[in-house]
Amino acid sequence: MVHRMVEAMSQLQEEKARLQEELAALQERLALRDSDQQATSTQLQNQVENLKEKLISQAQEVSRLRSELGGTDLEKHRDLLMVENERLRQEMRRFEAELQELRAKPVAPCTGCEHSQESAQLRDKLSQLQLEVVENKGMLSELNLEVQQKTDRLAEVELRLKDCLAEKAQEEERLSRRLRDSHETIASLRAQSPPIKYVIKTVEVESSKTKQALSESQARNQHLQEQVAMQRQVLKEMEQQLQSSHQLTAQLRAQIAMYESELERAHGQMLEEMQSLEEDKNRAIEEAFARAQVEMKAVHENLAGVRTNLLTLQPALRTLTNDYNGLKRQVRGFPLLLQEALKSVKAEIGQAIEEVNSNNQELLRKYRRELQLRKKCHNELVRLKGNIRVIARVRPVTKEDGEGPEATNAVTFDADDDSIIHLLHKGKPVSFELDKVFSPRASQQDVFQEVQALITSCIDGFNVCIFAYGQTGAGKTYTMEGTPENPGINQRALQLLFSEVQEKASDWDYTITVSAAEIYNEVLRDLLGQEPQEKLEIRLCPDGSGQLYVPGLTEFRVQSVEDINKVFEFGHTNRTTEFTNLNEHSSRSHALLIVTVRGVDCSTGLRTTGKLNLVDLAGSERVGKSGAEGSRLREAQHINKSLSALGDVIAALRSRQGHVPFRNSKLTYLLQDSLSGDSKTLMVVQVSPVEKNTSETLYSLKFAERVRSVELGPGSRRAELGSWSSQEHLEVW
Ligand SMILES: Nc1ncnc2c1ncn2[C@@H]1O[C@H](COP(=O)(O)OP(=O)(O)OP(=O)(O)O)[C@@H](O)[C@H]1O
């Protein structure tokens, strides 16, 4: 349409140009042919008429084109856009409404983990879709704004075009008016011949004006053409924009369709989920209902039972109420009764306590008396047996004794008297009588049984001394220490002390301590100390009690057999590490185990202390007489000295001499406590049974008999006693 309008405009211009040419030709002809003035005028009029018609038709064409242009494509596009916008808006509104609806729908709480996860996913997707919708809305509003702007611009252009066309129409109107006026003037001139020249002149003048008007029109046409070209350009741009808008709208639609499908899917999932939840809920309700029904039934049954119980209990309740009332009456008088009862019970209890106390006192008194009696009996027994007792033990023949005549047995026993021992010495039988003789068949326990009365007296506060005397290899260590499988007096004594102490634990609190020492060449050493080679001294207690003590001598508290074993082991290790030839050394030294038992009577606080000395003496064989020299002679001299001193002490004690020479040797000095006063002494004379040892056996038994003979008849015994000097001792052997 625009093109056609432009073409019409150009035609119009061409026509105008042609008209101008014709007008010019007319003017020329008017000027040249005055005569043909009328004809020319008519021709001119016709031409003007034609021109006018053409102008009118052109104007009509322009207005038609304008109306067509205004009412067709642009408006249609605008309307289409408006409709499209409206539709999109409606879709958006519907979409929002659906969203609102989905949001407003209550979501039942989901128990399953999968459901909650899917719901969360759906919620995320929904929020994402909402965001996208908001973005699309923004884009749509921008697009609307743009379309609005373009529509405004188009309206403006149309308005300008309208103004131009109106101006053009006015101009044409004016020109046609002038042409008409000119025609009229020409006609009047024709009617008035004389002033024709003047009229022609006027027409000429008027024609130049018309020319000017035409040129202005042309200029305007030119301007309008430019504007039309511009409008075309604008239209083209707008068409492109419209096209892109269409594309965008199509994209948005596709997106919206996609969102809608997603929404539909989410909606479907939600519905399914809700349906399954609804089913779960219904199922749970049904189950709960069924359970409730069962429970209700049980409750009803219980209720019926309770009702029957109530009916049966009512008479019992009545009886109980009566009883209760009776009891209430009794309770009112109860405090008084209770007070009286308490008073009498208290009196009874007090009396009973007094009786028990007096009984206890009586028992305690009796117990103490019994204790004293026991001690007295024991003392009497020991006195009757003698404070110093001598027993002999003959060891069995061993491999070490060898074979042949030298290893034959030289010792025999009296089948009717266990205190007699016979020795065949150099073909002559010699008999000895001691307190007891143990044959090689006697066990460790047999020997221990003989000495255990002495050991228990230690608990009652007596000092006890047990010696093992005899030549080397006669069995002293075996009797005192024994073997791990078959322990001797030492370990059995401690075990006995433990068991006795435990028996008395309810009344007495006892502690047992152990020390171990060795005397070698008149040097005293601590076998349980950290430095066993250190020489120890025996000193008087500084408290003036006359008691002796050894500063630095280690004392171990023992509480069990395990402790004793540890102590023995430690003592043995100390002895072994000190000397390379232990057997040799042990034969030449005195080993002492000193056990102290301290007791406290829990009821009276009475304290007792008893000491048990278990001594494994050095070998008593007469090495000095066999011409030994050097260290062996020195050892022999020391041994003989200490054994002589022991004999002297025992003799002095038996004869009740005022002075007892304890200090003559380390051994007797150390054992002073256990040899003097009420102390009890037992000597075990160890005897080798074989022929080759009969000389030593003879001397050992002679010594033992002399010691024992001292004890038998106080008068005569005392008379027989004399001082056993070291030399004399040697002479005896
Ligand atoms: N009654 C016994 N029964 C069995 N074996 C014994 C008995 N007496 C001693 N013996 C054994 O005789 C050997 C010598 O005994 P033991 O070492 O006790 O003598 P000893 O007098 O202590 O010697 P030493 O003076 O050298 O210490 C040991 O092998 C020992 O086991």
- Angle at the Cα of 120 from the Cα atoms of 114 and 123, rounded to 5 degrees: 140
pLDDT tens for 107-130 read 444 444 444 565 566 667 667 777
Q: What's the chain's length in residues?
A: 733
Question: Ligand 1 pocket: which of 467, 477, 621 to mutate (most atoms <8 Å of CB)?
Answer: 477
Indicate the pLDDT class of residue 593, thresholds 50, 70 and 90: very high
Nearest residue by C-alpha to atom 7 in ligand 1? 395
47 labelled binding-site residue:
no
Atom nearest to 470 CA in ligand 1: 21
Residue-wise pLDDT tens digits, 395-424? 999 998 888 888 899 999 998 889 999 999
Under a CB-based contact definition with an 8 Å cutoff, are residues 224 and 9 in contact? yes
DSSP character string of 60-88: HHHHHHHHHHHHTHHHHHHHHHHHHHHHH
How confident is the model at residue 570, as a pLDDT? 83
Q: Is 150 in the pocket of ligand 1 (CB under 6 A)?
A: no
For the Cβ of 587 lying below 6 angstroms from any atom of ligand 1, the answer is: yes
- Kindly give, in sequence order, each residue whose CB lies less than 8 Å from that of residue 22, ignoring residues fewer than 6 positions away: 47
Asked if the model's pLDDT at residue 72 lies above 60, the reply is no
pLDDT of residue 657: 78
Q: Which helix (H) or strand (E) holds 716?
A: helix 714-720
Shortest-distance Cα residue to atom 11 of ligand 1: 475
| 530 is an annotated ligand-binding site residue | no
482 lines ligand 1 (CB under 6 A): no
With contact defined as beta carbons under 8 Å apart, do 447 and 440 qualify?
no
Which residues are within 8 A (CB) of 552 and not within 5 positions of it... i.e. 6 or more apart? 526, 529, 534, 536
The average confidence (pLDDT) of the chain is 79
Among the ranges 121-125, 266-270, 389-393, 713-717, which has the highest mean pLDDT value?
A: 389-393
Position 158 scores a pLDDT of 77
Which atom of ligand 1 is nearest the CA belonging to 440? 1
Residue 686 alpha carbon to ligand 1 centre in Å: 9
Measured from the CB, is residue 477 less than 6 Å from ligand 1?
A: yes
Q: What is the secondary structure of 563-585 as a DSSP string?
A: HHHHHHHHHHHHHHHH-S-HHHH
Extract the runs of DSSP E, i.e. beta strands, from 497-606: 508-520, 523-526, 535-536, 539-540, 548-549, 556-558, 590-601
For residue 625, give Cα distances in angstroms to 585, 633, 635, 699, 715: 20, 9, 13, 13, 35
Q: What local confidence, expressed as pLDDT, does residue 577 receive? A: 53
Of residues 418, 411, 417, 410, the one with CA closest to residue 391: 418
Neighbouring C-alpha atoms within 13 Å toward the C-beta of 3: 0
Q: What is the mean pLDDT of residues 17-35?
A: 68
Confidence of residue 733 (pLDDT cuts 50, 70, 90): very low
Q: What is the pLDDT of residues 304-346, one digit of tens each?
A: 888 888 888 888 888 888 888 888 888 888 888 888 889 999 9
The structure's pTM equals: 0.51
The token pair at 430 is 């010699």
Task: Check residue 95 and give its pLDDT.
Answer: 60
377 vs 593, more confident: 593
The pLDDT of residue 611 is above 80: yes
Q: What is the mean pLDDT of residues 122-147?
A: 74
Residue 686 Cβ contacting ligand 1 at under 6 Å: yes
Does residue 619's CB lie within 6 angstroms of at least one atom of ligand 1? Answer: yes
The pLDDT > 90 percentage for the chain reads 24
pLDDT-derived band at 728, boundaries 50, 70, 90: very low
As a whole number of angstroms, the distance between CA 727 and CA 530 comes to: 37
Do residues 489 and 479 lie in contact, with contact meaning Cβ atoms separated by under 8 Å? yes
Of the two residues 151 and 426, the one the predictor is more confident about is 426
Is residue 548 exposed (0-12), middle (13-18) or buried (19+ Cβ within 10 Å)? middle
Instruction: Report the nearest atom of ligand 1 relative to the CA of 480.
Output: 18
- What's the rounded mean pLDDT across residues 250-255? 86
Backbone angles phi, psi at 223, to 5 degrees: -60, -45
The better pLDDT of the pair 535, 33 is held by 535
Among 395, 483, 684, which is best to mutate for testing ligand 1, by the most ligand atoms less than 8 A from CB? 395
**pLDDT value at residue 719:** 24
Per-residue pLDDT, averaged over 181-195, amounts to 69
Q: pLDDT band for position 384 (50/70/90)?
A: low
Share of the chain above pLDDT 70, in %: 75
Q: How confident is the model at residue 519 (pLDDT cuts 50, 70, 90)?
A: very high
Distance between CA atoms of residues 570 and 50, nearest Å: 160
Arithmetic mean of pLDDT, 173-199: 70
Over 60: is that where the pLDDT of 236 sits? Answer: yes
CA-478 nearest atom, ligand 1: 18
Residues in Cβ contact with 54 at an 8 Å cutoff, skipping those fewer than 6 apart? 12, 15
Least confident of 23-37, 151-165, 280-294: 23-37
Residues contacting 468, CB < 8 A, separation 6+: 476, 477, 479, 480, 615, 616, 617, 684, 686
Calculate how far, in angstroms, residue 477's C-alpha sits from the geometric centre of ligand 1. Answer: 6
Are 610 and 596 in contact by the 8 Å Cβ rule? The answer is yes
pLDDT computed for residue 652 by the predictor: 81
How confident is residue 209, by pLDDT bands cut at 50, 70 and 90?
A: confident
The answer to whether the annotation marks 474 as part of a ligand binding site is: yes
Please, which pLDDT band fits residue 146 given cuts at 50, 70 and 90? confident
CA-nearest residue, atom 8 of ligand 1: 475
Paired strand residues for 557: 513
- Any ligand 1 atom below 6 A from CB of 387: no
- Give the tens place of pLDDT for each residue, 646-680: 888 877 877 777 888 999 999 999 988 888 777 88
Encoded amino acid at 420, one letter: I
How far is ligand 1, taken at its centre, from the CA of residue 395, in Å? Answer: 7
Please check if 473 is assigned to a binding site. yes
pLDDT tops 50 at residue 218: yes
Ligand 1 within 6 A of CB of 402: no
Q: 167 or 97: whose pLDDT is higher?
A: 167
What count of Cα atoms within 13 Å lies in the side-chain half-sphere of residue 449? Answer: 7
